[in-house]
Amino acid sequence: MTLSRRTGLSCALLGRRRTSGPSQVRTRPTRYLSSSAPPPPGSWSSHLSRLPHQDLYRLSVTDPDRFWASAAADRLRWIEPFQRVQDCDLDRGRIRWFLGGKLNVSVNCLDIHVDAHPDRVALIWERDEPGTEVKVSYRYKHLICCSTAHI
pLDDT at 130: 87
Residue 34 pLDDT: 34
Q: Are 34 and 82 within 8 A, CB to CB?
A: yes
CA distances (Å), 100 to each of 29, 95, 130, in order?
Answer: 18, 14, 47
Q: Quick one: pLDDT at residue 30?
A: 34
Predicted TM-score of the model (pTM) = 0.58
Question: Cα separation of 44 and 64, whole Å?
Answer: 14
Residues of the chain with pLDDT under 50: 1-39, 41-42
Q: Classify residue 81 as exposed, middle or buried by CB count within 10 Å of its CB (0-12, 13-18, 19+).
A: middle
Per-domain residue ranges for the chain?
A: 1-21+102-151, 33-100
Give backbone dihedrals phi and psi of 123, rounded to 5 degrees, phi first. -150, 135
pLDDT at residue 45, rounded to an integer:
55
Interval 29-63: pLDDT, tens: 333 333 344 445 445 555 777 788 898 899 899 99
